[in-house]
A and B are shown apart, each in its own frame.
Chain A
């Protein structure tokens, strides 16, 4: 029993590079230095540069408008730190929820052949298309005090969801879950079922196959999906403001504080935006290579 597992672990490890190479174009993550370059058509450069400028220049504009002298003071004001703490906390909890719910959801979507699951797929991806504020209103009409779900919650447990930190987490999870599902489902489909099938024929129970074969194969996809979900949660605004409201320390996350400060205290709003930019850069630069590319 243990021998086949050992053999399989070794095989998968040796195939990891293969899976990684196949996954590479999708994760758009640099080239392998050993692969001979085919050469990029020159015509791609002009739109590429324009595209980059479209994304990068506004950040430069933001930095140029910042009051650099007062920046440290504005970034570390009590209000800003409270909002940052709330943002990091809610984004972490919603990412955990996304992993616990969205992970299995992606597995079902990728592996099940039932017609019902096929019909469910577009529904799961709905938050990607829906304006977040519509998502927030939908949550409000469902889990708000007068919504059907909200009524039951109040009747059974005596709790109301809107205006609580839990509402912020729910709004963030609603909006960011598809990012994990898309990423993980893609990884699951790319990995295929060959290894799983062989492991099963060798006598491994479904749970063992999942833990020892499937999970290691899709770890990079899971990692990048979670990072994307976390980043999306951190920037969430529309659904939060519609469903959870805005109160310091309870529901006012960093994006909500930026929106509130934007005209009265432009310097403060810019400083807070830069905090978000810094956090985003840290998330992408630090977390991504380690988590997203798997422990290679």
Chain B
């Protein structure tokens, strides 16, 4: 009985330790860890805005080919989510955000090494079903009665850009839904449940024809700057700097431009 009790106590303790260690996750790779010389090999962790998914996946292959032995771990999500993760201690080497406000959250927490650099820009576009059956041609057309419009919630970057345009043009949009992120808006349009949605130019391009994009001039008034920065607690600062170099260099520029991103 006593032995059984001891056994359970021990296993419970082990479990608790394992739990705590598990929460630490990648934190085990401390800066200057003796097992892996920094800069030569190891794992680089990059947190990036969801809209960068396709391009960063391409750049990952280039980076790993150029740096044998290095694995790039990409963590995509809403920039605001990623910023919160970093502020709450997530072990990340590089952060690339979809607007400057979310990068500011991280800078204000004192977690950015050096200055964040704007590497691309992105702007809104109206997404409609292929062939534009509802004949939407301008931002004002989005107020047409009976048109089911879906936008981003004002809390996320695409939503704040949309609010800015509403303010500039004095238009009030009546969406049927304010979605939690831009990809949700895109999917509501591509499934045909919404007639129109406001998404990024790059999102329209990424669907390869599943939705049609309609440019509107007012979008130029609400351009999102994408900043990138190496983080202060980076476990691989050398690799992190190399990643930023790749993204901002000619190879990165080519991939980003092909995806529809603008030059700052």
Contacts and interface: CB of A to CB of B under 8 A. Distances in A.
Contacts, number: 72
A141 interface: yes
B17 to A, nearest CB: 12
Contacts of A262: 84
A262 B176 CA distance: 22
Interface string B189-222: 0011110000000000000000000000000000
B15 interface: yes
B12 A145 contact: no
Interface in A138-160: 140-141, 144-146, 160
A145 B146 CA distance: 14
Contact of A246 (B1, B8, B178): B178
Interface stretch (A27-35, A41-49, A122-130, A191-199): A41-49
Contacts of B178: 245-248, 252, 260
B16 A50 contact: yes
Interface in B1-32: 1, 4-5, 8-9, 12, 15-16
A295 B188 CA distance: 47
A264 interface: yes
B95 to A, nearest CB: 14
Contacts of B194: 163
B179 A246 contact: yes
Nearest to B129: A146
A100 to B, nearest CB: 27
B137 interface: no
A260 B15 contact: no
A50 B9 CA distance: 11
Interface stretch (B46-54, B148-156, B233-241, B245-253): B148-156
Given A246-B153, A263-B84, A144 B192 contact: yes
B38 interface: no
Interface in B130-154: 148, 150, 153
A43 B8 contact: yes
A4 B179 CA distance: 61
B84 to A, nearest CB: 5
Contact of A245 (B1, B16, B81, B176): B176
Contact of B9 (A46, A241, A244, A246): A46
B5 A42 contact: yes
A141 B191 contact: yes
Contact of B193 (A145, A256, A265): A145
Contact of B176 (A141, A247, A261, A265): A247
A163 B5 contact: no
Interface in B90-132: none
Given A145-B192, A146-B193, A247 B155 contact: no
Contacts of B83: 263
A137 to B, nearest CB: 9
Interface string A262-293: 11110000000000000000000000000000
Contacts of A260: 153, 155, 178, 180
A251 B179 CA distance: 11
Nearest to A54: B19
B193 A247 contact: no
Given A263-B80, A263-B155, A47 B8 contact: yes
A256 B12 CA distance: 36
B80 to A, nearest CB: 4
A47 B5 CA distance: 11
A141 B188 CA distance: 11
Contacts of B188: 162, 245
B180 A246 contact: yes
A46 B13 CA distance: 9
A144 B188 CA distance: 10
A50 B13 CA distance: 10
Given A163-B177, A246-B179, A247-B175, A144 B193 contact: yes
A43 B180 contact: no
Given A162-B188, A247-B175, A265-B155, 4 more contacts: A50-B16, A260-B180, A261-B155, A264-B80
14 contacts: A46-B8, A47-B8, A47-B12, A160-B193, A244-B177, A245-B177, A245-B188, A246-B178, A246-B179, A247-B177, A252-B178, A263-B80, A263-B155, A265-B155
- Across the A-B interface, the 4 shortest Cβ-Cβ residue pairs: A245-B177, A146-B192, A163-B176, A263-B80
